[in-house]
Structure 1
């Protein structure tokens, strides 16, 4: 049974016992024979097109949502050719107006793959290996090129996928690709009838990890530039499939400019030789340029639609879908590289700060149910400002969608859904914390005395510093730090605990000076073991330390006013021995607690960290090494 929720309503679209029995006869399991929603898109008339696998008999219908009530049409249509039979098959879809684009398997066995446009002007890929070679479909995106084109070039539709390498014969290496077709492509008049005449593809490069490892695209988010569409950026998550000899397990985010992708598709073609290899094509290139989208220059020469293209051009496109050059990321390297759980989904938001500047925030889901919130800038690179555990069970985040207007993020796994506000600033409890985090969503409201979302706020009541997190602009409050009086005995060890709210590193000061570790001062992440002498009387301060763009920010967590006591008869050695043993046991317990916490990773929030500054030199590749996470501030 499949259940879809809208507000407080639900619709049950079930599989009958007869349908399930017929599905099992075909050799499928009970779980596979349920009805899984594969696709949902809103149409121009307000209805929602919904398609499910329905016991390996793909079916589509429409939902209506009016005045808080959801109803489902009584009529159903076959979904064959639109969505896969198998719920486990990779699939991508996009709705442009009322025109549906899909990419996935179209037969029962899942062996025939196609990239299609449905409707009156139906189009599909040519079913030959040089076009699609064992593909896994990732994402379809629409770019409104005509809106800012000087020669009224047709709009573009991009397909991101992975496929088996075609450049080398009998290769089992899987590569990331980006393919492009033209929105108004109508196929050829005689050649490539109802087939794309503009289908071109190129390798998508995201260089990280061991040489020879497979860097495979997992998800793509298209952030369209409102002023010039060619400046728009595709943000893509990648995971590294290491060589058998390597233990590397890394993920990355790479970004690609639309104009750079267009340039690759205007470049040289590859051609298949009699020897079974692909080489650069050096022969005559026909006019109009094969695979080009219709523009004013082509219209002036009588080519108003793809049906006006000569057969010789169409035959060339059919046999030469692969471009020579790869599409490289805008920085030449990833924006972010991590050796933790694999990235799965990504959404990107463009946030305007109080000073009117725009900032890029990437929200990245992984295969363990966690979300990473990353701020990207040319100066700092990728700076992780928060990690959240959205789901307790370690399973991949399969769906991630952001409402920029409301600031709500929606995510889902196979078994659970979650909603959260990306503008929640309540975790920053002081002005110092609020500014040091340099979260573009947040600023310090000095009238209310709290960290709050800057969206819609008045500049007169809010302060924000995203350049270096300088806290000197914070209001001055004469709040004394917590001071604890403690009486110690000479040469008797004592544990002074320090537990900050964040996981930032801590340091200790003694009478205003930095305390260095030594025989009498054992510095731990959760406190200080002090074995005092007669000169160790004074004020001990535990501080968190964060360095932002070379500026050191210190915040007192707790202070101890240590006073020395000496008994009249000298030191009570029995008491000293007992105290020493207790202190030692305390230290061991603290170490065990730290180790257990580290192993379980129970902490849901992390401090601001800069990772992989992609504006500088390319990462060095070391065989068998996963250490490519460059931390800068």
Structure 2
């Protein structure tokens, strides 16, 4: 049984990749016209054009760069008078012309259909002039009236095949729209389709090199309400694949103008280990091989419950689909669907016309006997189910809704063809994953759109090495791979990207090099070929006050990697409170810094047995906050000491008097302070106690110093991978800095000289990590409040330990107004 990638808790388990925000996109181009909803794409590699259908407009873009000004625009809007003619426009907000069908008709024209404010129209477009070449045609039987309805369509040899719900009160069905005679699915006595929601279709030319004279077949993919009894009563829908023959002309008497070859079967995509069954088909991509038997298709499956995010990618072989359609039928017995065990008439119902049929005098579907057509009419459903290759998904992801998929085969340095999946999410991200020995390895996650929105269309150009992605707000052209993002041999090889190889200096795209002998790549293991044992090492210096807590950040780029820390060349062992250290997913916390904890800290990323240095810290522990440090420039020589004399003795007497006065005043201030603190403490005891949570952590400083820090760790919203997350941010306590309670200014103190080339880090300062746990392959997931069940053990152990430390120390706090140097 083939292994697969399962991610139930939101933490990626099989990926070394990059989480790239929109601001870090390389080599991308964007296009935004006057319309919205760029949901229909037609790529023509030969002409170098990408045709785009939006809301009320069509565009012809240059495939090499969709941002160029050479793009052509054809407006096709709905006039206010047309909106007034249809009563639904007074109730709906989608009274526009959404382009739903856009395909090549012949060498000179395209054929296009739009919803036209719930009254669909179709037209021909002259590609040379890019304008309408004739009047508009009625599109009611060719295009859905509603832009939200599932739809798929094909234009094959001048014949149009489509599947959708075409009218407000009609049922969804599969049709051949022209030429005459038109065909559609049957509704009585057995309903062939029940609330079907179509997502895709494909033509497989089985007639090519056929030894039996077989016909070409068209496959449709959809989700519908279940008709048969299933083992999961909580689910009301099932995923289907249906098939019709291209040269089906309907029956002579039975099934007139109806399909005689319609068959459908259920597709299964389940995670057996967790007894999880994903029954909603969201999108499909067909990867055609040299023949039909080697062709496969990939489906994105989700759960029926919309409040749960989950996605699975299942791969199917068309040879398995064909075997199911050649198997037993289902029929209705006592109002229930059961497997049919009786005699099947000849020729087999639902089969296409072959040489065997022709030898029997059956040259088309109109020559089929009525007994065969009657059986086909009552037995559209197959008894066997279509199972994925390996019987398990290629990949399962929790907390992610994939909505679009595209697949590409890439030849790597080892001579193997690797399958690369491009997966679009419902919040505007693109995940790129590669299948390695049956396991999915996520390489990269890209934020395509700044505003979260579903990816509505996606197409790959192998000539331009680009992928074009459309959504509600615009269209983006992204390179299939950006190898220059990998800045070290470690990153380039560990990424296991089939597109990329290390040439000794930089990471390059393999296809761009004619000579590849000096390139390094390791897709199968991702560890071999790098001579150095370090990536891009980040150097930092930290100056820490004695007794402070400080976090040394070490964010690992790979979820497969684990951190390893050393101090002065010796590996740190036994992280915990007693050891003075606590390790987290993205850093090392030094607890109550002591003198012996100063030195050189190194953080290594350990992956697949390889240890790579990524962070280097030089930490100095200072016992006096005002003790001068080594200056960066020579200081002027101090004046020579004065000899003792009468003036000097007088100065010493005056100094003693001043010190006595200061001591007396300080004592009075201390008494007054104690009284004020006692009153304030009694008052606060009556108020509601503040709660410690991930949103507010009140830091009351270190217990072993007289100075204190009254700080608050507060979460601020952010997005990574399109998910709402929380950063930890340190802010002063609001009670201490409110205008009504402004603390008295402290007496001026001499400023110590700045530390040379150091990030001064007293207490838990700006060295806090931006994230504390990761998910979805390479991306980093922030501290989230809405998903406590999906948090990793490292997240709980690290943050809860930090909470306990701070809670323990707050009771020893004395100084309610910290001086600036302790913050």
Deviation at 1:132, TM superposition (A): 0.9
Q: Is 1:46 matched up with 2:108?
A: yes
Q: How does 1:57-136 map to 2 (within 5 A)?
A: 57-66=119-128, 70-107=130-167, 109-121=168-180, 122-128=182-188, 129-136=190-197
CA distance in 2, matches of 1:592, 1:26: 46
CA distance in 1, matches of 2:554, 2:234: 55
Q: Is 1:542 matched up with 2:596?
A: no
Structure 2 match to 1:187: 250
Deviations 1:348-367 (A, max 9, x none): 11111122210111111121
Deviation at 1:14, TM superposition (A): 1.6
Tell me which moved more, 418-427 or 429-438.
418-427
Sort the Cα spacing of 1:218 and 1:575 in 2 relative to 1 into closer, same or farther, 3 A. closer
Structure 2 match to 1:410: 468
Are the counterparts in 1 of residues 353 and 363 from structure 2 also a CA contact under 8 Å? Answer: yes
Q: Larger relative CO (CA 8 A, sep 6+): 1 or 2?
A: 2
CA distance in 2, matches of 1:393, 1:595: 12
Sort the Cα spacing of 1:347 and 1:212 in 2 relative to 1 into closer, same or farther, 3 A. closer
Q: Is 1:15 matched up with 2:69?
A: no
Find the residue that maps to 2:390 and give its secondary structure.
coil
Find the residue that maps to 2:522 and give its secondary structure.
coil
Structure 2 match to 1:400: 458
Find the residue that maps to 2:391 and give its secondary structure.
coil
Aligned residues between the structures: 588
Sort the Cα spacing of 1:310 and 1:515 in 2 relative to 1 into closer, same or farther, 3 A. same
Deviation at 1:286, TM superposition (A): 1.2
Deviations 1:108-146 (A, max 9, x none): x14232201232253221233521112111211111222
Deviation at 1:229, TM superposition (A): 2.0
From 172, 177, 182, the equivalent of 2:240 is 177
Q: How does 1:236-385 map to 2 (within 5 A)?
A: 236-242=299-305, 248-273=308-333, 275-379=334-438, 381-385=439-443
Tell me which moved more, 130-139 or 145-154.
145-154
Find the residue that maps to 1:57 and give its secondary structure.
coil
CA distance in 1, matches of 2:726, 2:464: 31
Structure 2 match to 1:207: 270
Q: How does 1:432-471 map to 2 (within 5 A)?
A: 432-446=490-504, 449-458=505-514, 459-471=516-528
Structure 1 match to 2:94: 32
Deviations 1:298-355 (A, max 9, x none): 3333333222221111111011101101111112121111111322111111111122
Are the counterparts in 2 of residues 2 and 37 from structure 1 also a CA contact under 8 Å? Answer: yes
Unaligned runs of 5+ in 2: 1-54, 62-70, 628-700, 728-769, 780-787, 793-823
The answer to which structure has the higher helix fraction is 2
Q: Is 1:166 matched up with 2:227?
A: yes
Deviation at 1:528, TM superposition (A): 2.7
From 535, 553, 563, the equivalent of 1:498 is 553
Tell me which moved more, 318-327 or 392-401.
392-401
Find the residue that maps to 2:83 and give its secondary structure.
helix
Sort the Cα spacing of 1:382 and 1:193 in 2 relative to 1 into closer, same or farther, 3 A. same
Find the residue that maps to 1:455 and give its secondary structure.
helix
Deviation at 1:415, TM superposition (A): 2.9
Find the residue that maps to 1:85 and give its secondary structure.
coil
Structure 1 match to 2:817: none
CA distance in 1, matches of 2:56, 2:264: 37
Q: Is 1:600 matched up with 2:725?
A: yes
TM-score normalised to structure 2 length: 0.65
Deviations 1:258-301 (A, max 9, x none): 0000000000011112x211111111111111111222333333
Structure 2 match to 1:559: 616
TM-score normalised to structure 1 length: 0.84
Are the counterparts in 2 of residues 510 and 539 from structure 1 also a CA contact under 8 Å? Answer: yes
Sort the Cα spacing of 1:601 and 1:82 in 2 relative to 1 into closer, same or farther, 3 A. farther
CA distance in 2, matches of 1:346, 1:126: 31
Are the counterparts in 2 of residues 241 and 249 from structure 1 also a CA contact under 8 Å? Answer: no
Deviations 1:36-71 (A, max 9, x none): 1111111232311111111222111122233xx522
Find the residue that maps to 2:374 and give its secondary structure.
helix
Unaligned runs of 5+ in 1: 612-624
Structure 2 match to 1:420: 478
Deviations 1:493-529 (A, max 9, x none): 3525325473645331224443231231122344333
Structure 2 match to 1:621: none
CA distance in 1, matches of 2:778, 2:376: 45
From 224, 247, 255, the equivalent of 2:288 is 224
CA distance in 2, matches of 1:330, 1:575: 59
Sort the Cα spacing of 1:580 and 1:513 in 2 relative to 1 into closer, same or farther, 3 A. farther
Deviations 1:144-188 (A, max 9, x none): 222353323212110111111122599981111111111222222
CA distance in 2, matches of 1:418, 1:194: 43
CA distance in 2, matches of 1:384, 1:601: 24
Sort the Cα spacing of 1:2 and 1:552 in 2 relative to 1 into closer, same or farther, 3 A. same
Superposition RMSD on alpha carbons, in Å? 3.5
Structure 2 match to 1:622: none
Sort the Cα spacing of 1:233 and 1:595 in 2 relative to 1 into closer, same or farther, 3 A. same
Are the counterparts in 1 of residues 535 and 613 from structure 2 also a CA contact under 8 Å? Answer: no
Are the counterparts in 1 of residues 557 and 778 from structure 2 also a CA contact under 8 Å? Answer: no
Are the counterparts in 2 of residues 144 and 155 from structure 1 also a CA contact under 8 Å? Answer: yes
Are the counterparts in 1 of residues 252 and 367 from structure 2 also a CA contact under 8 Å? Answer: yes
Are the counterparts in 2 of residues 387 and 606 from structure 1 also a CA contact under 8 Å? Answer: no
Structure 1 match to 2:203: 142
CA distance in 2, matches of 1:338, 1:133: 29
Deviations 1:242-261 (A, max 9, x none): 49xxx743211111100000
CA distance in 2, matches of 1:305, 1:579: 97
Are the counterparts in 2 of residues 213 and 242 from structure 1 also a CA contact under 8 Å? Answer: no
CA distance in 1, matches of 2:535, 2:173: 66
Deviation at 1:486, TM superposition (A): 5.8
Sort the Cα spacing of 1:524 and 1:281 in 2 relative to 1 into closer, same or farther, 3 A. closer
CA distance in 2, matches of 1:241, 1:532: 53
Find the residue that maps to 1:123 and give its secondary structure.
coil
Tell me which moved more, 459-468 or 425-434.
459-468
Are the counterparts in 1 of residues 109 and 126 from structure 2 also a CA contact under 8 Å? Answer: yes
Find the residue that maps to 1:21 and give its secondary structure.
helix
Find the residue that maps to 2:389 and give its secondary structure.
coil
Sort the Cα spacing of 1:320 and 1:532 in 2 relative to 1 into closer, same or farther, 3 A. same
Deviation at 1:593, TM superposition (A): 7.0
* Structure (1 or 2) with the larger CA radius of gyration: 2
Sort the Cα spacing of 1:543 and 1:158 in 2 relative to 1 into closer, same or farther, 3 A. same
CA distance in 2, matches of 1:626, 1:105: 40
Are the counterparts in 1 of residues 310 and 401 from structure 2 also a CA contact under 8 Å? Answer: yes
CA distance in 2, matches of 1:626, 1:286: 56
Sort the Cα spacing of 1:100 and 1:523 in 2 relative to 1 into closer, same or farther, 3 A. same
Tell me which moved more, 594-603 or 414-423.
594-603
Deviations 1:174-220 (A, max 9, x none): 11111111122222222222221110011111114986966111111
Tell me which moved more, 474-483 or 298-307.
474-483
Are the counterparts in 2 of residues 251 and 337 from structure 1 also a CA contact under 8 Å? Answer: yes
Are the counterparts in 1 of residues 432 and 444 from structure 2 also a CA contact under 8 Å? Answer: yes
